[in-house]
Amino acid sequence: MDTRTTTGFFQVFATDPSSAARAGCLSTPHGEVATPAFMPVATAGAVKGLAPQELTQLGAQMLLANAYHLYLRPGHRLIADLGGLHRFMAWPGPILTDSGGFQVFSLAKLCAIDDDGVSFRSHLDGSLHRFTPELAIDVQTALGADLVMTFDECLPYPCEETRAEAAWARTFRWAMRCRAAHRALRPASALFGIVQGSVYPRLRRQSAQQLAEAEFDGYALGGLCVGEPKAQTLAAVEESVAALPPPAPRYLMGVGLPEDLVEGVWRGIDLFDCVMPTRHARTGWLFTSTGRILIKQARYARDESPIDPACACETCRTHSRAYLRHLFVANELLAVRLHTTHNLYYYLTLMRRMREAIAAGRLGEFRREFYRMRSTEEA
């Protein structure tokens, strides 16, 4: 099955017989993306520690950048004047931009919301700014993103159902304004509506249904993995996916740990992003086929084995745990680079293996083996 949008099409090539998982291809102005896929996070136009060509070598297909951060510094107009974000950061592949809604509500100072938009003070210098749905689309269009997000109201967990319902109603009105602004600008990008509703099944289902009826190019699931129990996260994903049109791509925002990716794919999610592989790399948490290890622990001081004997990344092929621990405790910048290389390779390889498992009709077997291996987690 496939669905054509203003920028091309999303086509599903294979579905898994034991789950809602599917493998497909997302077409964009800057190339195709095999799904399900994980997007490394380049918040301010860079994945911390790695150059664009290194990301390509690791298997990255698409990056995520953030409209809020780039709007504040160096400015979306400056980036547009310099040829757009792809040229600015020398990344040839697709880019997805978050609208900045989450950052406005989580980072900005003195945030004040009304039906028209949000006024806030920059977390950088305290300067006063105002974001509206129209500006969110204008910023993302100026950046030249391939996939852009509607502006949404993000809520903390926990929140009352009445507050979550009011926030969703505002988010939907903003989504329709974003759609109008996007159509007026007529960019080459695809526009994704964002499903909200906190952990309430009724609101999640209603949110997804309303967005589906409005016919966006794709659909993102926001407001999850913000502190709620895992069971509620998965239930919210299931409610949302069930109400979305099957041919359209689905994106689970800000998720997550390796097990979150496996469970998301199992439930029919096509796209993921998260800072965990890069952020954890900077704190010495390394992902392996058997779980996570904390490289600063003294038990690795004489350990000559690689991070993960099953991993083929450059870090694992070249360096021992003992050396990586030395770099980390000595505060050497090379530690961040090597850790980030490994963690992203692990994530991107995990996604590739799931695509292969779906195509072969054996994702259930893959999932069982994934959890069996992790039962021997070291840290």
Q: Among 97, 96, 110, 103, which residue's Cα sits nearest to residue 37?
A: 96
3-state secondary structure 92-111: CCCEEEECCHHHHHHCCEEE
Q: Is 98 a catalytic residue?
A: yes
The dihedral formed by the CA atoms of 291, 333, 60 and 96, expressed in degrees to the nearest 10: 110
Q: Is 273 a catalytic residue?
A: yes
Catalytic residue among 152, 217, 270, 273: 273
343 token code pair: 């963690």
Q: Is 302 exposed, middle or buried (0-12, 13-18, 19+ CB in 10 A)?
A: exposed
Q: How many angstroms separate the CA atoms of 187 and 25, rounded?
A: 21
- Residues 6 or more apart whose CB falls under 8 angstroms from that of 364 comprise 16, 18, 19
What are the phi and psi torsion angles at 148 (to 5°)? -125, 155
Backbone region of residue 284 per phi and psi (left: phi > 0; alpha: psi in -120 to 50; beta: other values): left
Cβ-contact 224, 1 below 8 angstroms: no
Catalytic residue among 98, 138, 260, 270: 98
Task: Let me know how long the chain is.
Answer: 379
By annotation, the residues acting in catalysis are 98, 273
